[in-house]
Amino acid sequence: MVFLPSVLAQEEGLEKPGVLQVGLEANYAPFNWSQTTAANGAVPISNSEGEYANGYDVQIAKQLAESLGLGLEIVKLEWDGLPPALQSGKIDAIIAGMSPTPERKEQIDFSNSYYTSDIVLVVEKESQFANAKALEDFEGAKVTGQLNTFHYDLIQQIPSVDQQTAMDSFPTMISSVLSGKSDAYVSERPGAMAATAANSALTYINFEEGQGFDTGEIDTSIAIGLRKESPLLDSINTALSEISEKDRNDLMQKMVNLNERGESAGFWSEVAGLWSTYSGQFLKGALVTLLIATFATLVGFLIGLLIAIYRSIPVEQNAHPLLYGLHKIGDWIVLAYIEIFRGTPMMVQAMLIYYGSKLFFDLDMSSMVAALLIVSINTGAYLAEVIRGGISSVDKGQSEAAKAIGMNHVQTMTHVVLPQAIKSILPTLGNEFVINIKDTSVLNVIAVTELFFVTRSVSGSTYMTFQTFFIAAVIYFILTFTATRLLNFFEAKLEGTDNYQVYTSSSYPDPKELKKDGK
């Protein structure tokens, strides 16, 4: 073991003293994946209780932390969220099979390489490209690669290729190849080995020298990403130098072997096996999804209600100039809030708020707090207009009648207008709740362990994409169907009875009799 006290003396390189926080996807086997136990040296994932990370990257991170005399904390993030998480200080290092491309070097620093591989094409065993020997053999093929990686740029080297849209993950690309949507996808050899070990219907084309992709050493090497001028860089490079090439290759082969899976037992058997293994993670993700949707809908309703009431306050031009001016400024702020949050995707808002608050204001929110805030204010922007429409739908004569009997604006809104307005928009409120259940899926970009985030982790760890997403679809349907039925029940209750007894002046019962009957 190489002990490096210099790292401990430079705590500014760490967000948590004495702890190396490492970010990775935990769904890119054999480099990293998630599992439900600590078997085979897995490490707990700090932002997903009950989930463990394993793989080549995790084992390298363990060796580095030990050499540096630091504790290790694994943080699971989406691929696109890794660089902003590093730059904003959410993590100290990226160890996720990342190549040090020139574009990335402009934003972050990289260590020396900790693994070097070649680039291959993954295809179906029964496809016409299964016996290809050179790139020329893929002429006219439909080929894809992972989004925001150099793999995708390499596709252009294939003659007359049909370069498809880049995809967000390897499980997605595997599904595309298996379904016939794509003929091949670009991968590093270890990733291809793990994919074929887990799925017997796949194989990969490993090209002879001069017959494959033209890559430089920087393209095929994998390095650790660090913040610019991080004091950890030299110490990490020293620790990496202690791991021999043979040990690295042996470790990679061991991780590939852990992903081996036998012949398919059939779709339903595999679904049952996934549920048996990961049911706890799925249910926890569903509960988080339901919690966020419920909280955000309620808070968003309150935000929208307050805004709608504010915008309904009558302020005439002949009012006091200061009062009139303040009201106009408030109107402008409210309108800007509504337009900004209705006019930008929630995924973009999540990235800006979660990472931007740490980067620019040093406000380190947890992903769950950020999720509740983001969905609530987004829902509030939509419901503000919905409630305003409900208020406008109430006949103005009722407001005038209320004022005629001495009610002020607050009393009129509280006792006359709002009860009718809210009743008329109940179906829309229920629809917004159902939408929030589904829209929480975009929060996977900030590593909220909701249902979709869990689904992607399981899919990336097992390569059983169809089976995993089938389970997720069933859970989403149960959540939305149950929510809809409950909302319909409460709406019906508010409507009152369908049968009424009509009295005329001559048939109206004696008041004494009504009192006797408790009426």
Does 119-214 match 5-116+220-263 at the fold level? yes
Look at residue 3 in the predicted model and tell me its pLDDT.
41
Look at residue 22 in the predicted model and tell me its pLDDT.
97
List the one residue out of 100, 101, 57 whose CA is nearest residue 76: 57
Q: What is the DSSP string of 320-334?
A: -HHHHHHHHHHHHHH
Topology of the domain comprising 5-116+220-263: D-Maltodextrin-Binding Protein; domain 2 (3.40.190)
Count Cβ atoms within 10 A of the Cβ of residue 44 and give its class: 0-12 exposed, 13-18 middle, 19 or more buried: middle
Q: Are 14 and 70 in contact (CB under 8 A)?
A: yes
d(CA 444, CA 446): 5
β-strand partners of 21: 73
Q: Are 374 and 353 in contact (CB under 8 A)?
A: yes
d(CA 446, CA 364): 13
Q: Which residues contact 482 (CB under 8 A, 6 or more apart)?
A: none
Q: Are 433 and 376 in contact (CB under 8 A)?
A: no
Q: Where are the domains of the chain?
A: 5-116+220-263, 119-214, 289-442+491-495
CA triple 258-263-265, angle to 5 deg = 110
Cis peptide upstream of residue 30 (ω within 30 degrees of 0): yes
Q: Are 451 and 285 in contact (CB under 8 A)?
A: yes
Give the other-Cβ count within 10 Å of 156's Cβ. 10
Look at residue 7 in the predicted model and tell me its pLDDT.
42
Task: For the full predicted model, state whether its pTM sits above 0.75.
Answer: yes
Look at residue 245 in the predicted model and tell me its pLDDT.
92
Superfamily classification of domain 119-214: Periplasmic binding protein-like II (3.40.190.10)
List the one residue out of 177, 65, 82, 47 whose CA is nearest residue 120: 177
Give the strand pairing for 119-124 and 184-188. antiparallel
Q: What is the DSSP string of 30-82?
A: TTEEEESS-GGG-EEBTTSTT-EEESHHHHHHHHHHHHHT-EEEEEE--GGGH
Q: Tokens 């084992």 label which residue?
A: 59
List the one residue out of 463, 451, 410 whose CA is nearest residue 172: 463
d(CA 197, CA 186): 17
3-state secondary structure of 224: strand
Topology of the domain comprising 289-442+491-495: MetI-like fold (1.10.3720)
CA triple 3-9-15, angle to 5 deg = 100
CA distances from 36 to 46, 284, 459 (A): 13, 13, 13
Report DSSP state, residue 226.
Answer: E
pLDDT tens sequence for the chain (519 residues): 444 444 444 456 798 899 999 999 988 889 999 999 999 999 999 988 889 999 999 999 999 999 999 999 999 998 888 999 999 999 999 999 998 988 899 999 999 999 988 899 999 999 999 999 999 999 999 999 998 888 998 999 999 999 999 998 888 899 999 999 999 999 998 989 888 888 888 999 999 888 999 886 666 789 999 999 999 999 999 999 999 999 999 999 999 888 777 666 788 999 999 999 999 999 999 999 999 999 999 999 999 999 988 887 777 656 677 877 787 888 899 999 999 999 999 999 999 999 988 888 888 888 899 999 999 999 999 999 899 888 888 888 887 888 888 888 778 888 888 888 888 888 888 899 999 999 999 898 888 989 998 998 888 888 888 899 999 999 999 999 999 888 888 777 766 665 556 555 555 556 556 556 555
